[in-house]
Amino acid sequence: MQMEAIKSKSYTPGPNPFWVLSLWGLAVLLLTGVLYDSLRMMVEVWLDTEEYSHGFFIPLISAYLIWMQRRELAFVNGFRESSIGLALLFFALLLGVLGGLATIKTLQQYGFILGLSGLFAAAFGTRGLKTVWVALLFLFFMVPFPSFILNNLSSKLQLLSSWLGVEFIRACDIMVFLEGNVIDLGGYKLQVVEACSGLRYLFPLASLSFLCAYLFKGPFWQKLLVFLSSIPLTIFMNSFRIGVIGVLVNYWGTEMAEGFLHDFEGWAVFLLCMVLLFIEMWLFARLNGSNTAFSELVQLPDEWFDGKANFSADVKLNQSVFACIALIVFMGASMHAMRAGEDIIPPRKVFASFPAQLGQWQGRRDYIDGRYLKELKLTDYVVMNYVNPSQRSNVNFYTAYYESQRNGAAIHSPRSCIPGDGWQITGFGQKEFSDIMFQGQPLRVNRAVIEKGDYKQLVYYWFPQRGRMVTNEYLVKWYLFYDAIAMHRTDGALVRLVTGLEPGQELKEADLRLQSFLKELAPELAGYLPGAEPQTSVN
């Protein structure tokens, strides 16, 4: 009877590997579904933005690296071993909630990667997370920077690349003058536009250098330098490309900066950056006393190929998978409830009735192109060009209103959009007017001086947000998150005034012009932008 019992015990069936893996796969699918909108927007950026067109390759490479290390992975069996993973997953979903309320999709995209890491740690424990942490960290390179960071970074790189490029042209004994991002060669003028800022090299090269540093056989400090060197390498080589184009244009005309030749130069520069990166690793290898060939500088470790890897033999039904699924479903339902809850839409006058006459200022209505309106996702707007005949001056007035800043609709800050139009912000600060009241408060605005070539403009702007006048873009996001919970409101607006400066005109004159216009505008504008008073929902 004892032998019979032992024999029976040895045939006790274990968990079916297919169903165990299917449960973990279901958890990944649910996480993807909960954060689907932000992931869809990320893929749209990959498709529409050259700087992130490499994004499609990042998850494939990361999955391949994890698959190659599968021999070192073993499923854990217990909540205690999965506690780190559950904590990571909860934090990731919390980021998803915060990102949704503040309309910061980047937070949700980072939350998705943290969520994947949490699910991985719940399945394979801390040891498994330590095994593949680099492959998971590599996923962060697929997440696009927010537009306000990307545009500011692009404008700074434009100026730096222009300056270095001009220095190269001067080194070739060519007379050249630089104004902002415009290179004046006398007979020709070249503008270093946003596409030539170097970001389309920087992001792919940074991803590649991170991967190379990981697979390079050397001490940590050398790996770190290999990765960090991608930044100055990109800036220098992009500046070199701009300088070469300037020299070619000087001798053979603007055809050298257009068409196939221009694109070919871009590809050649990127390939040269990769070659220099490998030369750097080769020099480090020689410094370490190794005669490693170029072809062996970056290769997968030999131990990844030793033995046969098979998940099936070690698959365990970890009960934490049900906790992960329940947590994702609960947080996903909470996010849906927050999105589905009706925002309070306060009553206001529509901008179609905004007056064309403000005191002595006479306005002419203008309109935004449909393709830009689709991107802005605003509810209502007005663009008016006002002229004061007595002062022979003009002001461009623009206001965008959003009745709800959910589902991807959010205010676009001029500080992000100005560099994207080729303008450079050469002065920035805040200004408060104690004698101009807006919604019962002294008006405070951002004041920016912008330049493009020989042109200069003065810009005032601020963000009316549910009774607050906010000048800081980050505070806009914080109040949006807070008011969505406390007030059930996410409406808000941007107000922007622009006036040009004639050659030789002082900034003080432009300031007085905008202040004169603001005194007429503020009382009239208040009726079109709701304040903080309690409102009832309007259908």
What distance in Å separates the CA atoms of residue 102 and residue 146, rounded to the nearest whole number? Answer: 13
**What digits encode the pLDDT tens for the residues 150-163?**
766 777 787 788 88
The predicted pLDDT at position 1 comes to 44
What distance in Å separates the CA atoms of residue 478 and residue 473, rounded to the nearest whole number? Answer: 9
**What digits encode the pLDDT tens for the residues 305-322?**
765 555 555 677 788 999
Tokens of 278: 């490998």
What angle, 0 to 180 degrees and rounded to 10, lies between the N-to-C axes of helices 105-138 and 17-34?
A: 140
Average pLDDT of span 62-84: 88
Please, are residues 112 and 35 in contact by the beta-carbon 8 Å criterion? yes
Average pLDDT of span 62-72: 90
**What digits encode the pLDDT tens for the residues 407-434?**
667 788 888 777 656 677 889 999 999 8
Q: Which residue has the higher pLDDT, 336 or 12?
A: 336
Q: Which residue has the higher pLDDT, 345 or 147?
A: 345
The predicted pLDDT at position 471 comes to 92
- Banded model confidence at residue 195, pLDDT cuts 50, 70, 90: low
Average pLDDT of span 471-484: 85
Tokens of 473: 């873009």
What distance in Å separates the CA atoms of residue 270 and residue 283, rounded to the nearest whole number? Answer: 20
Cα within 13 Å of Cα(24), Cβ side: 23
CATH of 351-528, one of 3.30.70, 3.40.1000, 3.40.50, 1.20.1300: 3.40.1000
Q: Chain-wide mean pLDDT for the chain?
A: 84
Give the least confident one: 39-53, 179-193, 283-297. 179-193
537 has pLDDT over 50: no
539 has pLDDT over 60: no
Percent of the chain scoring above 70 in pLDDT: 86
- Banded model confidence at residue 345, pLDDT cuts 50, 70, 90: confident
406 has pLDDT over 90: no
The predicted pLDDT at position 397 comes to 96
Helix, strand and coil percent figures for the chain, each rounded to 5: 60, 15, 25
The predicted pLDDT at position 257 comes to 65
**What digits encode the pLDDT tens for the residues 361-371?**
999 999 988 87
What distance in Å separates the CA atoms of residue 27 and residue 117, rounded to the nearest whole number? Answer: 12
The predicted pLDDT at position 194 comes to 60
197 has pLDDT over 60: yes
Average pLDDT of span 234-247: 85
Average pLDDT of span 383-391: 89
Question: Could you say which DSSP state residue 491 is in?
Answer: -
Average pLDDT of span 2-7: 46
Domain boundaries, the chain: 14-143+322-340, 147-302, 351-528
396 has pLDDT over 80: yes
- Banded model confidence at residue 21, pLDDT cuts 50, 70, 90: confident
The predicted pLDDT at position 11 comes to 44
The predicted pLDDT at position 379 comes to 92
Q: Which residue has the higher pLDDT, 265 or 171?
A: 171
